[in-house]
Amino acid sequence: MEYFEMLKQGASNENMDFNEAQYDKFILYKEMIKEWNEKINLTAITEDEEIIKKHFVDSIKIFKFDGLKTAKKIIDIGTGAGFPGIPMKIMREDLEVTLLDSLKKRVNFLELVSTSLKLQKVEAIHGRAEDFGQNKKYREKYDVAVSRAVANMTVLAELCMPFVKKGGYFVALKGPSIKDELQESKKAIGILGGKLQEILEVEIEGSDLRHNLVIIKKIKETPKTYPRKAGTANKKPLK
């Protein structure tokens, strides 16, 4: 299958339109990832088709959650080389996107990507989620916080939930088996003001990859004590 078809099919199965202009942006993004990956460590996935499937289509699958088709403002926590935040922005030009990562080199790369792809309303910020989560400018300001491959659900909930407005969502892109991890995180999610709404299984067309989207609704404000200072969520996970 051609790359255009892979992306289009991945998008249309989640009821998202896909056009040539978006395709051109994905291809330019892919080239930039490959070029910069030789200078700074961005991703272990370097082969063209793999980048399209495992990074781009996988990120697009987040739109299976309908709340992301209408959200206005999102934050991607631990975005790395821009996943899922940049593909989301390419798919929804009107979306306001904040990309957060604790590695400065990756944030510099993301700024370059935003400029080269002519993306508007994208802010790439350098720092830790634990610090920005206590910053008034960012705390409880987002319709949705998203995250892929950053931490287990218990830690992730503490890093992500503080950014979400009451009534909004935290969406985690997770691997195929999440039952135990989710069970362990239930109490933490509750403490942080969330409630498990649903789990959506997604498949990457033309592969045997199956992932889960964990959708947490924010039903009350996060207590001011969270997130705790950098590193604590990992060292002393909420139980």
Interacting residues with ligand SAM (CB under 6 A): 78-81, 83, 100-103, 106, 128-130, 148-150, 159
- Within 13 Å and on the Cβ side, how many CA atoms surround 167? 2
φ, ψ of residue 79 to 5 degrees: the values are -70, -20
Classify 203 as helix, strand or coil: strand
Strand, coil or helix: 72: coil
Closest distance of CB 78 from ligand SAM, Å? 3
Q: How far apart are CA 55 and CA 121, in angstroms?
A: 22
Is the Cβ of residue 14 or residue 130 nearer to ligand SAM in the bound state? 130
11 or 150, CB closer to ligand SAM? 150
- Report in angstroms how near the CB of residue 77 gets to ligand SAM at its nearest: 6
**Which segments of the chain does DSSP mark as H helices, in order?**
3-12, 20-37, 48-50, 58-60, 67-70, 85-91, 104-116, 129-132, 153-160, 179-191, 232-235
Structure token pair of residue 219: 């039903």
CB of 150 or CB of 238, closer to ligand SAM: 150
If the CB atoms of residues 18 and 83 are measured against ligand SAM, the closer one turns out to be: 83
**What Rg, from alpha-carbon coordinates, does the chain have?**
17
Closer residue to ligand SAM, CB minimum distance, 64 or 106 = 106
In whole angstroms, how close is the CB of 172 to ligand SAM at the nearest point? Answer: 11
Tell me the residue nearest to ligand SAM as measured from the CB: 80
Q: Please, what is the minimum distance in Å from the beta carbon of residue 20 to ligand SAM?
A: 26
Question: CB 146 → ligand SAM: shortest distance, Å?
Answer: 9
